[in-house]
Chain A
Amino acid sequence: MPYEIVIGLEIHAELNTKSKIFCGCKNEFGGEPNSNCCPVCLGMPGTLPVLNKEAVIYAIKAGLAMNCRISEVSKMDRKNYFYPDMPKAYQVSQYDIPLCYDGYVEIEADGQTKNIGIERIHLEEDAGKLMHDPNGQGTLIDYNRAGVPLIEIVTRPDIRSPKEARVLFENIKSILEYTGVCDCQMQEGSLRADVNLSVRPTGQETLGTRTEMKNLNSFRAVERACEAEAKRQIELLEKGLKVVQETRRWDDSKQESYPMREKEESLDYRFFPEPDLVPIVVDKTLIKNIKASIPELPGARKKRYINELEIPAYDANIITSDMKIADFFEEATKVCSNYKLVSNWLLTDLLRLVKEKGQDVMQKLTAQKFGELMVYYDKGEISQASAKKVLDIVSETGEEPGSLIERLELKVQRDENLVESIVKKVVQDNPKAVSDYKSGKTKAFGFLMGRVMAQLKGNGDPEQIKRLLTRELKSLME
C-alpha cells in the first residue's frame, strides 16, 4: 500500500542579541562555565526579569521574514517543570498568544515549488547545560546559556517528504541568517530542530499517530531521521501494528531512533501568564520600521538572479543559500558585470579555495578584488591559467590583482609587430618543424605555436598567434 508522510518541524533559533533576554549578561557562546551569569539569569530569590526589547524586535523580524502576522498584544507565560538546567524551575515562554503567527515559507523540492505554513513563532529563554564532572561522578551545570533569547518556529504539518523537511530547514536557516536574527552556528546548538512525523495510507484524510524527535542539529540529520522514522512507522503499519505516540531520540551516528523515557514526555507544564512581566504591545510604526530593516531574502534574490542576471537556477540556489556567498557575489558583480562569469568562478574556483583553506580566504580576497580579477579575465587581458594563479595568490596575500599582474608580467601580449617578429624568428629557428608542416604533418603547427607562446612566457593570445603563424607559413609555401 502506498503511504503518505506528514511532517511538521519545530525549529529553535538563538537570537543574535547583544544581551540575554531578561538581564544585562552578554549573549555569547562559550566562555568559562558560569562566567556569564548574574542573579537574574541564575533565578536567585527576589530577582525579576526585564524583557530585552531587542529580542522582541528580532523575533518580529523573523516573523515578518516568514510572512507572519504579528500580535499587537501578546504576553509571556511560565512553563513549569523541574530540571537542573532551568534555574527558576520554569521557562518563560509564550503559550496561547505567540508574538508571530500564520505565515509561510516557500520551498522548492523535487522540482516543485510550494508554501509550508508557519503556525507560530514565539519568544522564550534558553536553559543552561548539564555536563559530567570529568573528575568525579557528579553532574556539573553551566548556566552561561541560561536566559539566552530563543525563538521557536512551529510549522504546520505541510511537509510531505524527508527532502522537503530538509529544504525547509535550509530555507529557514538562510532567512534567519539574512535577517541577522540568528548566527545559525549549528554545531554550537544555536539552531536546532524537532521533527513531528506521521504516516497515512495515500488518500486518507485523517492524520496518523505522530512521533516526535528532538534536537536535530544538522540538515542531514533531519532528512535521515525523517527517512528512518517514516520507514519504521510504515513497517509497523504493514505488520498490522500501531504507531505509539511518543518522543524519540535520534542517534545520528547509529542512524536509529529510540523512545525516550516515558517520564520525560508526560510532563504537565502548568502554563500561566508570567506575572513579573507586562504584556508585549507592538505598535504599527515598530512593525513598519522592522519591515524596512529586512534585507532582500534568499527566495527573492534567487528569483532575481535567475530572471534578471540569467544565472542558472542550480547556481543561483547555491549562491543564495549562504548569505555570505550571495553578498560576495553581489559585491563582485558591481565590479564585473559579466554575471555568469563571476558566478562560474565563484562556484568552482572560489568555493574550492574556501573548502581547502577556510572562510578566511574570502576576507583576504574581498569581493572587490575578485571582481577586478574577473574584469581582467573577461577582457582577455590575462589567460585562464594566469587568472587562477592570481586568484590563488590574492586569496593568500590579499595583494591587489592589478599590481600582481604587473609584477608577474601576466598580461596577454597583443602587440601585432612584436608577436609577428617572434613568429618570424620561431619559423626561422625551427626549419625541421616547418618542413614537417609543409609535408602535411599538422602536429608541427602546434609545436610552433608552443614555441611562440613560450617566447611570450605563456602570455600570448592563442587566436592572434594562430592567425599570424598561419599567415607566415602560408607565405613560405607560396
Chain B
Amino acid sequence: MNIYSRTIKEINKMLINREIGAVELTRYFLDNIKRKNKEINCYITVCEDKALRKAEEAQKLIDSGENISPLCGIPYAVKDNFCTENIRTTCASKMLENFIPPYSATIVNKLEEKGAVILGKLNMDEFGMGCSSENSFFGPVYNPWNQEYVAGGSSGGSAAALAADLAGFTLASDTGGSIRQPAAFCGVVGLKPTYGLVSRHGLIAFASSLDQAGPMTRDVTDCAIVLNEIAGYDPMDSVSVRKGFENYLDGIDRGVDGIKIGMPEEFFNTDFAPEIKEAIFKAAEELCQHGARSYEVSLPSVKHTVPCYYIISSAEASSNLARYDGIRFGYRNPDARNLDELYKFSRSEGFGKEVKRRIILGTFALSSGHNDKLYSKALKVRRLISDEFKNILEKVDCLVAPVYPTTAFKAGGDNCKDPLKMYLSDIYTAAVNLAGLPALTVPLGLDSKGLPIGMQIIGKAFCEKLLFQVGHAIEKIAGRIIPGVKS
C-alpha cells in the first residue's frame, strides 16, 4: 500500500477503515527515519520504543470504535525546543545536550491525550537563532528536495522531516519566521498562529514576546486539523488568550469570493528573486479570477523591521538564556576554579557562535546608556509597525507577501558567514511577529532549480480561519508539491 506523503486526513481514513494499523504506520515512519535521517539530519533524537508503545495504545483506541481524534495514531515529531517529559530536549545546543525535562510542553501533552504518536525530536538552529538550521550542535539539516541546499531555519528539521516523509506532521516555533521560512524552503504548509493562541508553556524561550508555537503539515486542511487540537487557553501561560473553541476546518473550502487581499508595496518593492515575485503575482491573479480583489497597500514602518526585531529578540534572548550558567542544569565546565570562571567557561563552550552573538547584541541593547537609543526605541517602532498592520487589516482581509528573498540557498555557503545579510533577509517574516499576527506559508510550486517557492498570507489577530480559507484556495490552484513526485 502506498502511504508515501499522505496527509493526516488520508491516514486517518486509512486507520479507521483498517487499511493500515497504527503500529504498522509508526514502523513505516521509523523505517523511513532509519533510512533517510543520515542524509537529511532532521532528527536529533528518535524515541522508537515510546513511539511503538503509543502506537499500540492508539490502535486500542481505534479498535474501541469510539469517536477518536483525527490525530489518533498519527506519527508526528517535535522541534527540539519543546520540552518532552523523559525525552532529551536539546535546543540543538551543547548547553542542553543531556537535558531531560521532567515535564512536557502543554501542546505536546494535548497531542498525547489525543493519541498522536511521538516519533522524536527535530533539529533546528541552536535556540531558534538562524535561518538555515546550520547553527546546530548536531550538524546542519539538509533540504530533502536537494541535499546541497539548506532546509531553512530555525525549524529546518520540522520542515525537512515532513518533506522527506519522516513524520505525519510536525510542531515548530516561529520567533521571526522560523516556521514560515523553512516551510517555504521545503514546500510544506506552516502556520505561525496569533501570539497568545497556542500555549508557550514548555517551549524553551528564545524571545518571549515573539515566540509562537505552530504546526507544519503537508496541506492546509491538515494545518487546520492540528491547530484545532493545539490552540486554546493555558493557565500555565499567562499571555495565552481565553477564547472559546473554534473549528478551523469550518468553511475552509468556501473559496475567496469577495475576499480583499492587500499587497504591501514595501515588500514587493524590495529586491527578491524574480521567480518568487512572479509566482506570487500569478497566485494573486488567479485568486482574483476566483472572486478575490487585490489592492496595493502601504506599511511604511516595515522598513524598520530588521533592526527593531533584532534588538527586541536579542534583548529578550540575552535575559532568557542567562539561566544557562552551569549551575543547575545543562553544560558545566569541569575545570572552573571559581564562580566567574564557571559562568565564563560554561557559557563560552556551551553556546554556539550565533547564540553568543545575539546575547552580546541583546545585552548591549539593554545596557544603561544604550537602552534609550536601542531597546526603548525598538519598542516604539514595534508599536508603529503593529498599528500600521492593524489599520491596513481593517481595510483588507489579509495580506500576501514573500517569505524570504530567495528559495533555499546552498548549504555551507556565505549566508551564514555574513550575519548582517542573513538578518536583513528576515524582513518579510519578522514584522508579523512584532505585530503578533497570524501568517500561513503555502507552497506555490518549484523554481527553475527545482526548489519550492512559498508565499505567506498574513491575517488579523485570531483570524486563522480566513488564512486557511485563502490558503486552501491557493492550494487548489497551485497544487501540492512532493519530492520525487511530478506535480
Contact = CB atoms under 8 A, between A and B. Distances in A.
Interface of A: 39, 42-51, 78, 80, 82, 84, 87-90, 141, 268, 270-272, 275-278
Contact of A277 (B91, B235, B238): B238
Nearest to B315: A272
Contact of B101 (A45, A50, A88, A277): A45
A19 to B, nearest CB: 14
Given A45-B329, A82-B322, A270 B371 contact: yes
Contacts of A49: 238
18 contacts: A39-B103, A43-B328, A44-B328, A45-B96, A45-B204, A46-B101, A46-B105, A46-B202, A46-B203, A80-B318, A80-B322, A89-B322, A90-B319, A141-B327, A272-B371, A275-B239, A276-B205, A277-B238
B319 A80 contact: yes
Interface stretch (B3-11, B160-168, B361-369): B361-369
Interface in B216-256: 235-239
A473 B58 CA distance: 111
Contacts of A276: 205, 208, 238-239
B343 A82 contact: yes
Contact of A90 (B204, B322, B368): B322
Given A39-B102, A46-B202, A272 B238 contact: no
Given A84-B339, A88-B322, A270-B363, A48 B236 contact: yes
Contacts of B101: 39, 44-46
Contacts of A48: 200-201, 236-238
A270 B205 CA distance: 18
Interface string B295-337: 0000000000000000000011011001101011100000000
Interface in B134-157: none
B312 to A, nearest CB: 9
Greatest chain A CB density within 10 A among B235, B366, B371 is at B366
Nearest to B199: A48
Nearest to A23: B236
B82 A46 contact: yes
Given A44-B103, A270-B368, A275-B239, 12 more contacts: A45-B89, A45-B99, A45-B205, A46-B101, A80-B366, A87-B328, A89-B325, A270-B363, A272-B315, A275-B208, A276-B239, A277-B238
B319 A272 contact: yes
Interface of B: 82-83, 89, 91, 96, 99, 101-103, 105, 200-205, 207-209, 235-239, 315-316, 318-319, 322-323, 325, 327-329, 339, 343, 363, 366-368, 371, 375
A42 B201 contact: no
Contacts of B368: 268, 270
B90 to A, nearest CB: 10
A244 to B, nearest CB: 21
Nearest to B91: A45
A44 B327 CA distance: 11
A87 B323 contact: yes
A270 B367 contact: yes
A272 B322 CA distance: 14
B243 to A, nearest CB: 15
A46 B205 contact: yes
A88 B325 CA distance: 9
Given A45-B89, A46-B82, A270-B363, A278 B238 contact: yes
Nearest to A79: B319
Contacts of B318: 80, 270
B337 to A, nearest CB: 11
A51 B322 CA distance: 21
A50 B209 CA distance: 15
Given A45-B91, A268-B368, A89 B323 contact: yes
B350 to A, nearest CB: 13
Contacts of B200: 48
A46 B238 contact: no
Contact of A268 (B82, B239, B328, B367): B367
Nearest to A40: B236
A272 B375 contact: yes
Contact of A46 (B83, B207, B325, B366): B83
A46 B204 CA distance: 4
Nearest to A274: B208
A288 B143 CA distance: 62
A43 B366 contact: no
Contacts of B236: 48, 50
B82 A44 contact: no
A212 B245 CA distance: 55
Greatest chain B CB density within 10 A among A39, A45, A90, A277 is at A45
Contact of A270 (B103, B327, B366): B366
A174 B203 CA distance: 44
A137 to B, nearest CB: 11
Greatest chain A CB density within 10 A among B99, B207, B327 is at B327
Given A46-B105, A275-B209, A276-B238, A84 B322 contact: no
A231 to B, nearest CB: 34
Contacts of A43: 323, 328
Contacts of A87: 323, 328
Contacts of B203: 46
Given A45-B101, A88-B323, A275-B208, A51 B96 contact: no
Nearest to B329: A44
Nearest to B237: A48
A50 B327 CA distance: 24
Contacts of B99: 45
A46 B200 CA distance: 8
B319 A46 contact: no
Given A48-B200, A82-B322, A278 B328 contact: no
Nearest to A39: B103
B326 to A, nearest CB: 10
Contact of B319 (A42, A47, A50, A78): A78
Given A45-B96, A46-B101, A272-B315, A278 B327 contact: no
Contacts of A278: 238-239
Contacts of B89: 45-46
Nearest to A88: B323
A46 B211 CA distance: 12
Contacts of B363: 270
Contacts of B103: 39, 44, 46-47
Contacts of B339: 84
Greatest chain B CB density within 10 A among A46, A49, A51, A87 is at A46
B237 to A, nearest CB: 5
A270 B201 contact: no
B366 A272 contact: yes
Nearest to A139: B339
Contacts of B322: 80, 82, 88-90
Contacts of B91: 45
Nearest to A81: B322
The 6 tightest CB contacts between A and B, nearest first, are A89-B322, A275-B209, A270-B366, A275-B208, A46-B83, A45-B204
Nearest to A89: B322
Contacts of B105: 46
A243 B268 CA distance: 63
Nearest to B95: A45
A45 B83 contact: yes
A48 B200 CA distance: 8
B238 A50 contact: yes
A141 B363 CA distance: 26
A271 B343 CA distance: 21
A242 to B, nearest CB: 24
Greatest chain B CB density within 10 A among A48, A78, A82 is at A48
B176 to A, nearest CB: 15
Contacts of B204: 45-46
Contacts of B375: 272
Greatest chain B CB density within 10 A among A47, A270, A276 is at A270
A141 to B, nearest CB: 7
A47 B322 CA distance: 14
A50 B367 CA distance: 27
